[in-house]
């Protein structure tokens, strides 16, 4: 049995510039971090005496004899891609809800890919694991996804990620000195709205190189400013910049936000927040809010119906936490 633990991620600046259709023409730049909320994947060989060859436990329980009958698209195609002939039992457990803008789809792919590599005794570096996951999601599953989530989940840490036109990726850890204080000033609010990230992203991705180009260019500029604010310790300006990037992101498509999200966001601003943004492609999921620590107690006393998810930034990416083959 093999168990992997893979973090979710929070993206601050640069979202949209990590789509290959964009960065292969213009380059991209993202600031993001992994957090201490995780997806756990358990994978074990399934003995032949079972009536089924594959048992997949996610929001459904699948017991099937034929690989092609597996409903979970990522699981089925990963087993095929990695040419695993043995029967498998795969369990998925997540600390946070799926389809919530926190990078869960890529975290799942990265975690399962790491488990299956370990299953085949293949050692893969974090960056190569990320590259495998990017290729799988974009070219095997043919999904409309960017390339930042796979890196954040595989590599871990608080990073600046630069996407070059030639598909090269540079990852730089950012200033640790101010990161803890930034963490103390962030709130993660669950909106309870689940959405299809691909549908939201598809509504604006094919327009990034024409009518929406100026917005992505400004969003990239925000990632440069955000890094400067972080390095200099101007964290309140970092928070205000989150608001600016959120206003730009909403201009990409009318599906990025909605009335309920706008009302919740405005409520936070009226009660001490300096800025924030919806995580992921948009449409629902988690709202990241920057609010100085001194305002938080009164905010939560007043806002008892808000679902707050305490979190910390995490240093580690996807990792093996149990391997019975090595016992």
- What's the pLDDT tens digit per position in 21-57? 999 999 999 999 999 999 999 999 998 889 999 999 9
218 contacts: CB under 8 Å, gap ≥ 6: 248
- Statement to judge: residues 183 and 132 lie in one domain: no
What are the pLDDT digits (tens) for 85-108? 999 999 999 999 988 889 999 999
- Statement to judge: residues 302 and 319 lie in one domain: no
Residue 39 belongs to domain with CATH number:
3.30.230.10
- Among 167, 207, 213, residue whose Cα is nearest residue 23: 167
When computed from its CA atoms, the radius of gyration of the chain, rounded to whole angstroms, is 20
What are the pLDDT digits (tens) for 227-271? 999 999 999 999 999 999 999 988 888 888 889 999 999 999 999
- Statement to judge: residues 31 and 142 lie in one domain: yes
Q: At CB < 8 A and 24+ separation, what contacts does 165-168 make? A: 165/23, 165/24, 165/25, 165/26, 165/27, 167/20, 167/24
Q: Name the domain count of the chain.
A: 2
Residue 298 belongs to domain with CATH number:
3.30.70.890
In which domain, by residue range, is 274 found?
176-310
State pTM to two decimals.
Answer: 0.94
pLDDT the model gives residue 211: 73
- Statement to judge: residues 142 and 25 lie in one domain: yes
- Statement to judge: residues 182 and 169 lie in one domain: no
- Statement to judge: residues 39 and 140 lie in one domain: yes
- Statement to judge: residues 195 and 217 lie in one domain: yes
| pLDDT score of 176 more than 90 | no
In b/e form, how buried is each residue of 148-171, taking b as 16+ CB within 10 angstroms?
A: bbbbbbbbbbbbbbbbeeeeebee
What are the pLDDT digits (tens) for 111-137? 999 999 999 999 999 999 999 999 999
- Statement to judge: residues 137 and 203 lie in one domain: no
pLDDT the model gives residue 232: 94
- Statement to judge: residues 90 and 169 lie in one domain: yes
- Statement to judge: residues 131 and 233 lie in one domain: no
Q: At CB < 8 A and 24+ separation, what contacts does 296-304 make? A: 296/187, 296/272, 298/271, 298/272, 299/187, 299/268, 299/271, 299/272, 302/271, 303/267, 303/271
- Statement to judge: residues 157 and 267 lie in one domain: no
pLDDT the model gives residue 207: 63
Cβ burial of 192 (10 Å; 0-12, 13-18, 19+) is exposed
């Amino acid at each position: 049995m093999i168990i992997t633990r893979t973090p979710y991620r929070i993206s601050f600046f640069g979202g949209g510039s990590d789509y290959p259709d964009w960065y292969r023409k213009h380059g991209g730049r993202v600031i993001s971090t992994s957090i201490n909320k995780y997806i756990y994947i358990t994978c074990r060989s399934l003995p032949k005496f079972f009536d089924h060859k594959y048992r997949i436990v996610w929001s459904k329980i699948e017991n099937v004899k034929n690989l092609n009958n597996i409903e979970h698209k990522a699981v089925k195609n990963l087993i095929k891609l990695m040419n695993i002939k043995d029967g498998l039992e795969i369990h998925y457990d997540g600390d946070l809800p799926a389809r919530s803008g926190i990078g869960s789809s890529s975290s799942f792919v990265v975690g399962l890919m790491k488990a299956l590599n370990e299953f085949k005794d293949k050692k893969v570096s974090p960056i190569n694991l990320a590259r495998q996951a990017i290729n799988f999601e974009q070219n095997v599953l043919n999904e409309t996804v960017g390339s930042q989530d796979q890196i954040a989940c595989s590599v871990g840490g608080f990073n600046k990620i630069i996407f070059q036109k030639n598909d090269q990726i540079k990852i730089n850890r950012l200033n640790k000195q101010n990161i803890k204080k930034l963490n103390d000033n962030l709130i993660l609010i669950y909106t309870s709205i689940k959405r299809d990230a691909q549908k939201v992203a598809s509504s604006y991705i094919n327009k990034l190189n024409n009518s929406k180009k100026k917005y992505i260019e400004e969003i990239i500029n925000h990632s440069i400013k955000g890094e400067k604010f972080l390095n200099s310790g101007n964290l309140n300006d970092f928070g205000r910049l989150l608001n600016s990037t959120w206003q730009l992101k909403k201009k990409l498509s009318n599906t990025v936000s909605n009335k309920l999200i706008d009302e919740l966001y405005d409520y936070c601003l009226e009660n001490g927040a300096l800025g924030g943004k919806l995580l992921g492609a948009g449409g629902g999921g988690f709202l990241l809010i920057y609010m100085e620590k001194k305002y938080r107690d009164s905010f939560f006393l007043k806002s008892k119906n808000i679902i707050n998810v305490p979190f910390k930034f995490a240093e580690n990416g996807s990792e093996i936490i149990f391997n019975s083959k090595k016992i």
